[in-house]
Structure formats: structure tokens, C-alpha cells
């Protein structure tokens, strides 16, 4: 007999080979301050203030409760050490409701396949809990590490969109930064 995933199941921790993923909540603010304080992470996702991290965590908790979709904290299964965060945000992209998939890994843990591992688990989760909802990912065109993760996950590049972000060779955030868009 096939058991339908219940609403509670969506919020349960997700296990991968090396990670345990738990829905972001306000209890994660201290770890998020550490994560967003890593220089490479701050460069691509910041700048962050303590208040902005708190607001981001609160918004994620609201999204999990309202949308039944959100981003997870990623911790090492073996010792609970912080590895990163990632997962989905339900967004409207040019009138289409989609799940945006993203990832952030602590500077000291990059290059070890954690973002790919998280992304793969997230895609399996979406296939179970949000079947039929398109999955997209985007990042600044020059964020080669993040684009490599998208490719490795089998997302195909479908073009470029303008959104707030970094522009190669220019300082600060720009409202019209070219970002590479991929879809499953």
C-alpha cells in the first residue's frame, strides 16, 4: 500500500549520506550568523547584519509553516557540526509559481560535494512533496562554483535573468545583475 506523505512529513529532517537537514527556524540564528560571516559566503550572499539574519530566519520559519516548503540547515550527521544551508523558496517567476533551489556551504567545507549532496536530496524531496511544481535555480553568471553544482544536478541552463546581485568587476549590489537561470 502506498502511504501519502502527510503535512507533517514535509517538516521532518532529511538525511543524506553525510548530512542531516532540518527546516530553518529562529533557533538557528546563531549558526546562521556564523555561516553568513564566512568571507566567501558573505561575498556571494551578503552583506548581512545580525538583524537581517534574524529576519531571514523568521521569514524562513513562516515559509515552512505557510508554504510547507523552505530551506534547511545542513549539519554533519556524525557530529552535528554546521555545514551550510539550502533548499527551496516558493517564488513567482514571471507569473509562474516555481521552487527556487539554492545552497550555501561554509568556506572550510567547500569542494567536498556537500552542495551537490544537499541539492540531490532536495530534488528527491520535491519530487515526493511538491510533484509537478517546476524547480529552478539561479545565480550570478560569474558564480562558477554554484553553476557547476546546477550542472552536476542535471539542471539545464535556460538563459539569463536580471536580478539584484553582483556584477563581475563592479563593487556592491546591483538591481540588474545578470544571473544564469537553470531548470530541472
Any contact of residue 112 with ligand COA (CB under 6 A)? Answer: yes
Any contact of residue 178 with ligand COA (CB under 6 A)? Answer: no
Selection from 45, 2, 16 nearest residue 120 by Cα: 16
Rounded to whole angstroms, the Cα distance separating 105 from 111 reads: 9
Site string for ligand COA, 135-154 (x = CB under 6 A): ----x---xxxx-xx--x--
Residues 21-40 binding ligand COA (CB under 6 A) are: 40
- Can you tell me which of 10, 14, 74, 104 binds ligand COA, judged by CB under 6 A? 104
Any contact of residue 105 with ligand COA (CB under 6 A)? Answer: yes
Any contact of residue 54 with ligand COA (CB under 6 A)? Answer: no
- Can you tell me which of 33, 77, 89, 113 binds ligand COA, judged by CB under 6 A? 113
Positions in the binding site for ligand COA (CB under 6 A): 40-41, 44-45, 102-105, 110-116, 139, 143-146, 148-149, 152
Amino acid at each position: 500500500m502506498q502511504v501519502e506523505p502527510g503535512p507533517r512529513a514535509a517538516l521532518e529532517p532529511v538525511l543524506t549520506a553525510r548530512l542531516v537537514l532540518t527546516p530553518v527556524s529562529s533557533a538557528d540564528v546563531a549558526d546562521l550568523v556564523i555561516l553568513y560571516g564566512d568571507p566567501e559566503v558573505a561575498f556571494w550572499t551578503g552583506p548581512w547584519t545580525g538583524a537581517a539574519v534574524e529576519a531571514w530566519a523568521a521569514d524562513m520559519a513562516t515559509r515552512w509553516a505557510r508554504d510547507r516548503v523552505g530551506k534547511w540547515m545542513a549539519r554533519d550527521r556524525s557530529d552535528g557540526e554546521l555545514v551550510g544551508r539550502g533548499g527551496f523558496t516558493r517564488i513567482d517567476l514571471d507569473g509562474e509559481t516555481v521552487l527556487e533551489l539554492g545552497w550555501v556551504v561554509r568556506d572550510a567545507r567547500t569542494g567536498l560535494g556537500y552542495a551537490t549532496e544537499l541539492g540531490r536530496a532536495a530534488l528527491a524531496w520535491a519530487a515526493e512533496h511538491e510533484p509537478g511544481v517546476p524547480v529552478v535555480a539561479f545565480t550570478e553568471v560569474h558564480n562558477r562554483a554554484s553553476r557547476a553544482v546546477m550542472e552536476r544536478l542535471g539542471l539545464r541552463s535556460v538563459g539569463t535573468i536580471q536580478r539584484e546581485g553582483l556584477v563581475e568587476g563592479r563593487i556592491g549590489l546591483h538591481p540588474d545583475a545578470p544571473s544564469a537561470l537553470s531548470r530541472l
